A and B are shown apart, each in its own frame.
Chain A
Amino acid sequence: MTATVKYADVEVGTEIPARTYPVDRADLVMYAGASGDFNPIHWRESAAKAVGLPNVIAHGMYTMAQGGRFVTDWTGDPGSVVDYGVRFSSPVVVPDEGGATLEIGGKVEEKLDDNKVVVALTARSEGQKVLTRAKAVVKLA
């Protein structure tokens, strides 16, 4: 219930250091099982290509979850998130060999009342923006 980042210590424009998260097919299989989303475009190349995708793609919610992790690792409390929304602008393509990487960054966009701040997130994979309009409202200490 208590974030470790203090509201008084952040300003509009405060940057959260960017992080890189690897994604491979095994992660997507685990996510399919945990989430119940077994759409084969997330684990079988022929199924992805049959519907016009370049290869297997990550679940949008997997990518969104990495953004959530980025924010809660920063605030120090996963319960600090009061609002979180994203638009899935481009798929994260995950080849069989080598997988993909997700680069996530963020900065404080606005300070609200009641110790809340709006964090604007960026998420890229292979140079493509994979999330747009990604924002989390978090309550700081």
Chain B
Amino acid sequence: MALNRDFVGRAFPPSEPYEVSRVKIREFADAIGDHNPIYRDQEAAKAAGYPDVIAPPTFPIVVSFGGNALAAPGLGLNFAMVVHGEQRFEYSRPLRAGDVVTCTTTITEIKSIGSNEKLTAVTDVRTVEGEMICKSYNTIVERGA
């Protein structure tokens, strides 16, 4: 189904604050099979110059996958037919345990490709103090029936 083009350029209010925990970072690292001690051991993280354990580069997807934008009433997205098309992160610094972040998402493009609909959104992930962590560029494809 065609997505509502009125949503192009729409910015959504910041998401609820999310506190990054050591436990969640470890769980995520375990799930991707990555045993790097900098994700698990505070001493190893400190030895590498970080104040606490840091999160793997793709961890911000936990908070930034389209945010509240994709579920927006009126957009018309059918989640059952959605596949992830492209993803990019631009990092200002690694996310780390203790960060409390919010995400601000803007839909930047919607276009048809054959019977598919392609939507691109950019999400700024910042700490509640306003420090930029990363920008997440997220393209999803809603496959046509």
Residues of A within 8 A of B (CB): 1-2, 21, 27, 30-31, 33-37, 39, 51-52, 59-62, 64-66, 68-69, 71-73, 77-79, 81-88, 91, 133, 136
Q: 1/0 per residue B33-45: CB within 8 Å of A?
A: 1101011000000
- Residue ID in chain A nearest B27 by CB atoms: A34
Q: Are B89 and A83 in contact (CB under 8 A)?
A: yes
With known contacts A1-B48, A27-B33, A61-B87, A37–B65 Cβ distance under 8 A: yes
Known: A31-B32, A65-B32. A79 touches B50 (CB 8 A): yes
Are B85 and A87 closer than 8 Å at their CB atoms?
Answer: yes
> How far in angstroms is the closest Cβ of chain B from A94?
14
**A35-B28 in contact given A61-B61, A68-B58, A69-B34 (Cβ < 8 Å):** yes
- Asked if B38 and A78 make an inter-chain contact with CB atoms under 8 angstroms apart, the answer reads yes
Given contacts A59-B84, A72-B36, 14 further A-B contacts (CB under 8 A): A34-B32, A34-B62, A35-B31, A35-B62, A60-B83, A61-B65, A64-B87, A65-B58, A69-B36, A69-B56, A72-B57, A83-B88, A84-B88, A85-B89
Q: How far is the CA of A120 from the CA of B127 in the complex (A)?
A: 30
CB distance from A2 to the nearest CB of B (A): 7
A64: which B residues are within 8 A, CB to CB? 58, 87
**A-binding residues in B (CB < 8 A):** 24, 27-28, 30-34, 36, 38-39, 48-50, 54, 56-58, 61-62, 65, 79-81, 83-91, 93-94, 137, 143
- CA gap between A35 and B65 in the complex, in Å: 10
- Determine whether the beta carbon of A36 is less than 8 Å from that of B62: yes
Contacts of A84 in B (CB 8 A): 57-58, 88-89, 91
Q: What number of residue pairs across chains A and B have CB atoms under 8 A from each other?
A: 112
Knowing A34-B27, A51-B80, A60-B83, the reply to whether A2 touches B58 (Cβ < 8 A) is no
Q: Is the CB of A79 within 8 A of B86?
A: no
Q: How far is the CB of B31 from chain A (nearest CB, A)?
A: 4
Structural contact, A69 and B50, CB atoms closer than 8 A: no
For residue B135, which residue of chain A has the nearest CB?
A83
Contacts A79-B48, A88-B83; A34 near B88 (Cβ below 8 A): no
In the complex, A133 Cα to B86 Cα: how many Å? 9
Which chain B residues lie closer than 8 Å to A2 at the CB level? 48-49
B87, A85: Cβ atoms closer than 8 Å:
yes
| Inter-chain contact B31/A33, CB cutoff 8 Å | yes
Contacts of A30 in B (CB 8 A): 30-31
Which residues from chain A contact B84 at a C-beta distance below 8 Å?
Answer: 59-61, 88
Task: Say yes or no: A85-B88 contact (C-beta < 8 A), given A61-B61, A78-B38, A78-B54.
Answer: yes
